[in-house]
Each structure stands twice: as C-alpha cells, then as structure tokens.
Structure 1
Amino acid sequence: MLAPVHAAQNPASAQAGRSTPSNGASIGSHDSVVNGVKLHYMKAGKGPAIILLHGYAETSHMWLPLIPLLAKNHTVIAPDLRGAGDSGKPETGYEKKAMANDIHALARSLGISHAQVVGHDIGLMVAYAYAAQYPTETDRVVLMDAFLPGVGDWTHVWLLHDLWHFHFYGETPLKLVDGRERIYFDHFWNDFAADRNHSISEADRAFYTKAYSQPGGMRAGFEYFKAFPQDAKDFEELSKTKLTMPMLVLSGEKAGGTFLVDQARLVATQVSGVIIKGSGHWLLEEAPTQVIPLLVDFLNQRPLTLGDSATANR
C-alpha cells in the first residue's frame, strides 16, 4: 500500500452545478493516494466523523446541500469513489469490499478511527461493506435507495427490472456510449425518478456527464455492475454476522419501496426504515425537504422527526 499523499485543490464550493448553502461552512477539496489509487474528496467541519458515499451517475458533488449542515458538529468527508469523478480509474478493484477498503484507508490516513457512514446507490453497497468489515469502527450507517447484492431475494429488486444496463460493459458498449454519455445517463436520471421533470437538475446533469466522460470514466462505471456477482458472494458471507450499530434506511416510494428495509433487517439488528413518499431513486434531489432533516437528525443522534410525507417502518 502506498503512503497517503494529500494535496489541497480548489474549494468544492466552486464546482459547477449545485451551489453550496452559505452558512459559514468551509469545504476543502483534496486528493489522497491510498491502496495505490488516488481518491479525491471534500472535507469540512470538525468533530466526530461522517463519511458520505455517492452512487452511480453522480459524484461527491451530490452531497453539497448536506455537507454544511453536518459540518456544524462533525468532520465530514465526501470522496469520489474509485473510478468516479476526480478519483483514479484503475483497471480493477471495483468489488464493493475493495472499494470499502479504499474508504477505510482514506479515513485512517486522515486520523479517523470511528465514523458514521452514509451511502446512496452504489455508495450504500460500499457503506455496508465498510460497516461489515469494520464494525467496531462504524458508529452508525445510512443506506439510501438501491439494494444489497446477495442478500435475501435480491434478484427481484425494482432496479433489476431494468436489467440490461447491469450487463452493459465491454468493448462494444464503450464504443456505443462514446460521445453519447449524456443520452446514456439521462435514462437513469429520467426513468429512475418519480417525475423526470423534478429529478437531477440540468446543471448537475452537465456536471456529472463531464465527470464520467473523462478518460476511463465510463469503463470504470461499468465495472461497478460487472462486480455484482462477486459482491453477492461477498455480501452473503458478510451478512452471516449481523451488524449491531443503529442503521437508517431511506427508500423512495416510487422506487425501491420497502425492499431495502427488508434486506437491512436481514443484515442488522437496529434498523429504522423510512419510505420517502412521492420520491423515486434520487432521494436527495427529488425530496430534499424530507430527506435532509432525517439525515441530520439521525447523524446528530436525535430522534427521527417524520413529516406528513414520510412514513416510518421500524
């Protein structure tokens, strides 16, 4: 393993697309080399650590509305996962256990020995793999709308109704999407939303398209899905030991519904599940007024306060 290398970059608040709420939080943008791969990450605040892990078709940029709110009381780390955004895009290492090891190595390089971990989509798989491999170092976990390969009846999850893209990798798919990345991603941003007109903003679509259009970006993204069979084997084994830290599961009413909540109860003992009414897969963008308060309350270890539009499933 290479020694960590940290280098400050331009402030994350200067990223195009979504603006950072102006509440005095300073968000730094950095690079670190761990496990032989460069990880780009944002960092803000002081206090107990929170790690935010993005999903496919997005980067750490998705967390900008949330970071300043959490940074009031915490050190917040939001990395671009291996293969995404401004992080390195190596040929291998896209199994979610390996990606979780990247994040753990990054945390340790920053002097973080305990953390709360939050993940959306692919990021939730990495978050679960992190907690399952390092349970004594993980204080709380949040899983946001997708699924856990290898757990329960996972092959019947809603997202797998659109099965073609999970097998869309290799030479021909890469040639088909070259120069047409926006067309490919619009499929996810539109069809996985409850309402395509209230999904990912146009500015953010342009931002993410540019990020994944970098050399190696599309190939790396396809590797997340190519690794699912191995992830299923890994998670089936990891799930034999149930997690005991508090876990919050957020799922879109118009997306995964209760599926991820049910899966979480197979792998953890303290699960609070909340179905976000009217929302599809893109929870933070489609339903920020429901989702952000739930995240802030849970991560600040306050009792969850449910509005009229969110339903608890404990």
Structure 2
Amino acid sequence: MGFKHVMVKANGVEHHVVMAGSGPPIVCVHGFPEDWYSFRHQLSGLSDRFTVVSYDLRGIGKSDKPQRGYDVRTMAEDLVALVRALGLNKPAVLGHDWGGSIVPIAVYREPDMFSRMIIADAPLGRELRPLNSWYIWMINNLSPWIDRQLKRRDLFPHSIIRFWTWVENQHAFTEEDMNHYTETYFQEGTLEAWLSLYRSVWHGPSGKAYETSGEVVFSHPPVSVSWSAPIKPDIKIPTLLIWGEEDPALPVQLAYRLKRVWPEMELFVLPDCGHFPHEEKPEEFNRRLFDFLSPLLS
C-alpha cells in the first residue's frame, strides 16, 4: 500500500503507527474490533493533500500490551503523548467507535493541541445507555459465557463486522480485509485488551463502578462513559459528527440526540450505511471529510 510503518513510544507504550502523505496532519483513532487498518481508505484517499496518521491502540495489533491502562482516559493520554512524540502541529483528529470516545477527551484535556475534530459512530455520554447498546451489556453481564464466544475463530471478528455492516455494503470488506482483522483479533492479549476497555465503562479502570449521578465524559478529570449524564462539552474547535443511518450497534437516533445537546457540531448522516461509514462508504466519507478539513489547506 506504500504506507510508512513506525514504532513510537508515547505515554510509556510503544505504539504501531502508520503514516501516508504530506500536508496538514490528521490523526485517526480506531475502534472495536479493528486496528490501524480501519483507516486504510483515508490513508490512501486523503494522503495527496494531508498527512494521514493511523495507529494501533495500546493492547491492539503491533502496539505494546501492558497490564493496565485499558480505559478511554488513559488511551486519551496515549493520543496526546503520541501527537507530541510525532511532533505534529495542531492536527485534526478523527475517532471511530471507541476511538470516538477517546478523541474528545484528548481534545478537552489539550484544547490548543488540535485544529478540528471528527467523531464517527461512537459511544458518548447519556446518549448511549446500556439498553441502547445490548452488546456492551452482554460483555459486562454474561461473563464467562461471552468470553468463550468471543474467542471462537469461526464467529469472530468477521461476524461482528458483517452484522454491524449494512447488508448492501457487505462487499466493502474483502477476504483480505477479514483475514487482516482476524489475525489482529486473535493475537495474544488483544481480546483481553478489548474486554478490559468494555468493562472499564461499566466498572471503571479501578474495578469500582462509576457513580451515575453527575459524571460526564468531559468532566475534570474525564472518566470513561457515564450512562446517566448528558454530554456537556466545553470544546471550541470545529467538530463534525458522521453516522451511518442503519447502524445496528449505535442507532442513528443517538446522533440526533447528540446534535440537540451539541448544536454547534455539524452532523452528516450517511444513508444505506451501518456502523463503519469510513469503510462501507469510503468515497462519500472522504468527500465530506475533505470538505470539513479543506480550511486547513489555506
């Protein structure tokens, strides 16, 4: 593919980083059950005008797999440290799924570090409750049965990706793509990292359940996800929310609720699209992303 692969130490963890292109930087943060490869279409499609950076979260892919730190707060610290280690000047930042929960915490913590923010199909604040996300409930309440199921090579991760992809877009994931994700998913320690992240939402990184009376994603210090409090962001940079209209994991109604509590944010809904808009509809996704980032080129 012609991408540059490097290992970069950030926040005490060696991260596998993939880069392409030149121009204003944009850092991409992936979600479950994927890795840096999730943004292959952005690395190839935007690199003629932008420096596109994608990386493996701690515990995933070729990045280190430490014993601790599998919560969005720590992963936001990783992102901030990675931007510094790479010497990027005010990058835009894009997060999908759990990456979309990590990114706004990093932006909140370091408001002068980033130029623009893009969030795609991500769990955020009260707009995502356990009843709205059955799979998070299952991971936290059906152990050890769910752990055994998630380790079945005949089911995962391809069954998750297929189920969360709109039926008309199944062709978007080739056999090569599925083989890549399967290889990454079944690396030693990767599933444990994902399970730790999901369970930190429910119990907190310390194992103690979060209170649900007043915590918000953007409180100080930021926590993972609170099921009861709404998002109350104090984020000033331009923000774009992209959502697949047919997302079965995080229904598009969540995006409309987020827009109501965050009216300054731009919302772009992709029709006939599931949970992976950047992979299911890469051309449409990249066009909207390019339009949003184009002021950085002037």
Q: TM-score, normalised by structure 2?
A: 0.82
**2: CA distance between counterparts of 1:79 and 1:132?**
21
Change in Cα spacing, 1:140 to 1:264, as seen in structure 2 (3 Å) is: farther
1:169: Cα distance to partner? 8.3
Q: Write the letter of the residue equivalent to 1:249.
A: L
Does residue 271 (structure 1) correspond to residue 265 (structure 2)? The answer is yes
**2: CA distance between counterparts of 1:97 and 1:132?**
11
**Residue of structure 2 in register with 1:141 after alignment:** 117
**Residue of structure 2 in register with 1:37 after alignment:** 13
Does residue 249 (structure 1) correspond to residue 241 (structure 2)? The answer is yes
**1: CA distance between counterparts of 2:19 and 2:142?**
33
Find the partner of 2:217 among 220, 235, 243: 235
Find the partner of 2:174 among 173, 176, 201: 201
**1: CA distance between counterparts of 2:253 and 2:293?**
22
- In structure 1, stretches of 5+ residues that fail to align are 1-12, 14-25, 303-314
Find the partner of 2:27 among 51, 56, 78: 51
**Residue of structure 2 in register with 1:162 after alignment:** 135
| 8 Å CA contact retained: 2:46, 2:286 | no
Find the partner of 1:186 among 126, 134, 158: 158
- In structure 2, stretches of 5+ residues that fail to align are 223-230
**Greater mean deviation of Cα atoms: 33-42 or 268-277:** 268-277
Deviations 1:19-48 (A, max 9, x none): xxxxxxx52100012222110011122332
**1: CA distance between counterparts of 2:216 and 2:71?**
9
| 8 Å CA contact retained: 1:116, 1:139 | yes
Q: Write the letter of the residue equivalent to 1:32.
A: V
**2: CA distance between counterparts of 1:130 and 1:243?**
11
**Greater mean deviation of Cα atoms: 41-50 or 196-205:** 196-205
Q: What is the alpha-carbon root mean square deviation over aligned residues? A: 2.5
1:153: Cα distance to partner? 3.9
Q: Write the letter of the residue equivalent to 1:263.
A: L
Deviations 1:137-160 (A, max 9, x none): 111111111321xx23421674x0
Q: Write the letter of the residue equivalent to 1:218.
A: L
1:197: Cα distance to partner? 3.2
**2: CA distance between counterparts of 1:52 and 1:89?**
20
Q: TM-score, normalised by structure 1?
A: 0.78
Does residue 283 (structure 1) correspond to residue 269 (structure 2)? The answer is no
Q: Write the letter of the residue equivalent to 2:254.
A: F
Number of aligned residues: 273
Change in Cα spacing, 1:165 to 1:205, as seen in structure 2 (3 Å) is: farther
Secondary structure in 2 matching 1:81: coil
Matches within 5 A, 1:18-29: 26-29=2-5
**Residue of structure 2 in register with 1:152 after alignment:** 126
**1: CA distance between counterparts of 2:10 and 2:83?**
10
Q: Which has the higher contact order (CA 8 A, sep 6+)?
A: 2
Q: Write the letter of the residue equivalent to 2:178.
A: R
Find the partner of 1:296 among 281, 287, 290: 290
Change in Cα spacing, 1:188 to 1:165, as seen in structure 2 (3 Å) is: farther
**2: CA distance between counterparts of 1:157 and 1:294?**
31
